[in-house]
Structure 1
């Protein structure tokens, strides 16, 4: 059976993908705690920022595909964002993804395998307060495009979900609330309404977003396609955002997003 490494396999898209692949693949489930690995998979203790754990992947005898899914979401008004939080966001979502890819690229090349990088529609359109997260996804898109164009042995595929009903929303809200509590009164006065409205929207998307299994099914399809696309967009809202980002000038897009934010604030 083909061997696939799925990072961030304990919850959300990663877990759903590992479960979907398990019947037909040897799935190496990258998890921070071994007990969190999905049933039917082989647990691999893997924090993408842990150099020793990443380096240990070089000893894998075989690998046919890598699904880079591990990630976090940091949101904040950029004016008051602690720079260490931006560093943490990029360390996990960008540097960690490339570190994993580098560690196993020899095996992937030998197998003429595939790398699937789980990005976001936020890698094409940066929303208010989502600057840190969007920056990490824009960067992941750039790395993926470059890697795809630098070589031909390994196919490189981007998955661009919109809102997916996964625990990343709850964790992101918890992190945002902690950051928000430490910000000065001026930040609360200037951004309070925006933060309240966007937080409520994030909670809604965390329960009403596209099921993680839908994203997993598309990842499986991309792994098996004879000629996979460079990008797959998941969800109706994400497809609309992608179309707007493609056709609208920046100022027009700014106006559309501003109108959406106003509607959101009026509802809260």
Structure 2
């Protein structure tokens, strides 16, 4: 059943999962407020889409966007806020630039918090819900992906706390958990990691030569799913009358959920083996 005249906000709407979610929601009859950092002419030409310029890391910009949406939806409010905007910062934690680490949390954790704070009055008016796009690393931290793992674990904690806080208003807080997805975000993460390594102390980089070679091979062999599959799950989370707390998108994500409950030693052994790090050698370089 289509939901005409119901409005949804989607952050990170310019590409990948965000754009697929916008298209899927418009196809279901929603008016979609597509939040992007800069201008996006292609989104603006799509019927049913209203582009909102908003940097999720800037509370002032988020508040201004919320005022604009409030003026347009009037008393109808929002049916859902989909916190999709995200980035991936990866590489040996020892070598991650502080600014990259700060931005990881600013976008992935603080962004959803700022957006939810600003748009909650509209969700109350629309008897809506919060949909946070998470990741399996929220449950199982991965080597050389400490920043993204920690930011998504923090988002999971934020979601769990918020779910209880908003129960009195019957506002569900839902996590959609994609696995590896065929979008540009992974290429951007790899390019940023290479740039950081190129600027780092080469002696320290050399310490991780064997680690990074094996990690790179493991990542190259992982299978990716289509963004449309994630978008379909987001639509399910938006429309479900009695939504679940979590929606894993694929079978591999469900494996992470089970692995999270394994004894820590066993979990670390399995992760080490999965990323080819068993027997890894300490590289040369600075101590």
Give the TM-score, by structure 1 length.
0.92
After superposition, the C-alpha distances for 1:109-136 in whole angstroms (9 at most, x for unaligned) are 1211011000100100111100001110
Which residue does the alignment assign to 1:18?
A: 22
* 1:1-268 alignment runs, 5 A limit: 1-23=5-27, 24-35=29-40, 38=43, 39-40=46-47, 41-59=49-67, 60-61=69-70, 62-152=77-167, 153=169, 154-205=171-222, 208-246=223-261, 248-262=262-276
Q: Give the whole-Å Cα distance in 2 for the aligned partners of 1:200 and 1:34.
A: 37
Shift of 1:160: 1.2
Q: How far apart are residue 151 of structure 1 and its match?
A: 1.9
1:117 aligned counterpart, secondary structure: strand
- Alignment CA distance shift 1:265-1:16 (3 Å): farther
- Please tell me whether the aligned partners of residues 124 and 138 of structure 1 are also in contact (alpha carbons under 8 angstroms): yes
TM-score by length of 2: 0.86
**SS at the partner of 1:169?**
helix
Runs of 4+ in 1 over 6 A off after TM superposition: 263-266
Distance 1:174-1:64 versus aligned 2 partners, 3 A rule: same
C-alpha separation between the residues in 2 aligned to 1:184 and 1:8?
A: 34
Q: Conserved in 1, the CA contact under 8 Å of 2:54 and 2:61?
A: yes
Q: Which runs of 5+ in 1 are unaligned?
A: none
Instruction: Flag structure 2 segments of 5+ consecutive residues without an equivalent.
Output: 71-76, 281-287
Conserved 8 A contact 1:169-1:203:
no
Aligned CA RMSD, in angstroms, stands at 1.8
The CA distance in 2 between the partners of 1:103 and 1:122, in whole Å, is: 27
CA contact (8 A) 2:9 2:33 kept: yes
- Aligned residue-pair number: 263
- The separation in 1 between residues aligned to 2:106 and 2:118, in whole angstroms, is 16
Larger radius of gyration: 2
Q: Structure 1 residue 183: deviation in Å? A: 1.9
